[in-house]
Copies of this chain bind each other. A is one copy, B any other.
Amino acid sequence: MANDKKFVEQITPMEEDFARWYTDIVKKADLIDYSSVKGCMIIRPYGYAIWENIQSILDKRFKETGVENVYMPLFIPESLLNKEKDHVEGFAPEVAWVTMGGEEKLQERLCVRPTSETLFCDHYANIIKSYRDLPKLYNQWCSVVRWEKTTRPFLRSREFLWQEGHTMHRTREEAEERTVMMLNLYADFFEQDLGMPVIRGKKTDKEKFAGAEATYTVEALMHDGKALQGGTSHNFGDGFAKAFGIQYLDSDNKLKYCNQTSWGVSTRIIGGIIMTHGDDSGLVLPPAVAPVQVIIIPVQQHKSGVLEAAEKLRKTLSDAGIRVKTDDSEQSPGWKFAEHEMRGVPLRIEIGPRDIEANSCVLVRRDNREKKVLPLDAVVTAVREEMDLLTKALYAKALENREKRTFQALDMEELKKIASEQSGYIKAMWCGDEACENKIKEEADLSSRCMPFNAESISDRCVCCGRPAKALVYWGKAY
């Protein structure tokens, strides 16, 4: 079963070439197609449906915390982008510029938004007057453009889809609270819904967002031991507020600057799902975001009653709110098994004449291919339970991979040795000096992924310079 040769052999095995395995999957599972615009991808129905499910879960959770959606313009006038010094330095080198409108040269260049802090600030300066107007908790779902040199589907593309939340607060503490709240919201989503364990922590100054005072991150580890920044949440303090003049009249009748946050996740999550859970048979999707959670395969479908029983089962599951489809095409069951495994459908149900006679069906899990015979009248409960178990199993497997691939180093020799032999996280202490961070980058080709919250101390000396250590850092190679 599940190994129709002609079909499966199209995917390069992971161990042979992980990068090719990845691109094989995004293409063969119909997630994306390449477009005529270099570095921009077409997100096909199956890939887009995953994104719609991600959106639907997160959008609901954002709104439960008081967030409201808005839509800001696609373009940022150059003068507006230039208002905050660090921000423009970070983004200007990689933006696309509109210089012509119709036949006419524009008086001022417009950049296609790489991120919208400047637009939100411009708007907030206009609408915030009093402490009664605060907090403002806005978010938008949109696409952004960054003119990257090397691109890969979902992971790094010149245009990608994301959400960007931008909030304004009365106090620094309130902004910090929101920054951490959104980071935890992301982390819970990754862990509980996507089955992806993440490290929650703070970025070093070198790695933080252009213009932010502090950037928090959730970092996931992919199957191959490379890290993926899953989502970030930034506290801007009042830096942008000062640059844009965003002031409110407080209850003590004094004008004060607002405190600001922003936070986002993008379609790169889909790349993360693929590289965390996928295997040599293809994609493995966590049920929470799978476009099809259950695929029903009728066995000996031309025999009397089989398609009717399959349809009855489909309707039962669908009525219970489960995303379910029946594949009654003319392909062989084996071909269908391979096809839907490749597309990562979490659960498969087989139903044929013998099952119908026994009033049962066969349930097969995508991750471990375990088979269970289920009585037909208990199928809804069983499917819900198996989806839950599957998510937890994905999490456990990914956590095991991370633990296996987490190392620690006390000095540079050790750090470089591990970095050259292994792929994963290296935990090491750091003095807080960017010079050491640069040296580690240069000599071991590792970047600082984050300083985890509540980290243990593994030494009191910096791994690089030997001076007193300030923080534990997770170092790694990253997508």
Q: Which of B80, B93, B127 contacts A33 (CB 8 A)?
A: B127
What 0/1 pattern do residues 61 to 84 of A give for CB contact below 8 A with B?
000000011111111110010000
Most-contacted residue by chain B among A43, A45, A126, A138 (CB, 10 A): A45
CA distance A44 to B70 in the complex (A): 5
Size of chain A's interface in residues, with CB distance under 8 A?
53
The 3 closest A-B pairs by CB, nearest first: A45-B68, A40-B73, A97-B100
CA distance A123 to B45 in the complex (A): 12
| Cβ-closest chain B residue relative to A144 | B74
| Cβ-closest chain B residue relative to A143 | B74
Q: A122: CB under 8 A from chain B?
A: yes
CA distance A109 to B36 in the complex (A): 13
Do B70 and A45 have beta carbons less than 8 Å apart?
yes
Do A71 and B161 have beta carbons less than 8 Å apart?
yes
Known contacts A37-B110, A68-B45, A99 near B97 by CB under 8 Å: yes
Residues of B within 8 A of A138 (CB): 45
Do B102 and A42 have beta carbons less than 8 Å apart?
no
In the complex, what's the smallest C-beta–C-beta distance from A157 to chain B, in angstroms?
Answer: 9
Do B75 and A159 have beta carbons less than 8 Å apart?
yes
In the complex, what's the smallest C-beta–C-beta distance from A319 to chain B, in angstroms?
Answer: 16
Q: Which of B40, B95, B97, B103 contacts A74 (CB 8 A)?
A: B40
Interface residues of A in 204-258 (CB under 8 A from B): none
CA distance A167 to B93 in the complex (A): 38
Known contacts A69-B52, A71-B48, A138-B45, A37 near B76 by CB under 8 Å: yes
Q: Which of B69, B95, B101, B110 contacts A102 (CB 8 A)?
A: B95
Q: Which of B45, B72, B158 contacts A35 (CB 8 A)?
A: B72
Known contacts A43-B70, A70-B43, A112-B112, A96 near B100 by CB under 8 Å: yes
Cross-chain pairs A/B with CB under 8 angstroms, 15 sampled: A35-B72, A35-B73, A35-B122, A36-B76, A36-B80, A37-B73, A37-B75, A41-B73, A48-B70, A74-B112, A97-B98, A97-B100, A98-B99, A100-B109, A101-B147
What 0/1 pattern do residues 23 to 47 of A give for CB contact below 8 A with B?
0000000000101110011111100
In the complex, what's the smallest C-beta–C-beta distance from A27 to chain B, in angstroms?
Answer: 11
Do A77 and B36 have beta carbons less than 8 Å apart?
yes
Residues of B within 8 A of A75 (CB): 37, 40, 96, 159
Do A94 and B100 have beta carbons less than 8 Å apart?
no
Residues of B within 8 A of A112 (CB): 74, 98, 112
Interface residues of A in 114-165 (CB under 8 A from B): 119, 122-123, 126-127, 138, 142-143, 145, 147, 158-159, 161
Do A42 and B73 have beta carbons less than 8 Å apart?
yes
Residues of B within 8 A of A142 (CB): 143
In the complex, what's the smallest C-beta–C-beta distance from A30 to chain B, in angstroms?
Answer: 9
In the complex, what's the smallest C-beta–C-beta distance from A97 to chain B, in angstroms?
Answer: 4
CA distance A93 to B103 in the complex (A): 6
Q: Which of B37, B69, B145, B159 contacts A48 (CB 8 A)?
A: B69
Residues of B within 8 A of A102 (CB): 92-95, 147
CA distance A102 to B95 in the complex (A): 5
Q: A49: CB under 8 A from chain B?
A: yes
CA distance A75 to B40 in the complex (A): 8
Residues of B within 8 A of A97 (CB): 98-101
Residues of B within 8 A of A123 (CB): 33, 35, 42
In the complex, what's the smallest C-beta–C-beta distance from A139 to chain B, in angstroms?
Answer: 10
Do A74 and B127 have beta carbons less than 8 Å apart?
no
CA distance A398 to B317 in the complex (A): 44
Do A74 and B159 have beta carbons less than 8 Å apart?
yes
| Cβ-closest chain B residue relative to A101 | B147
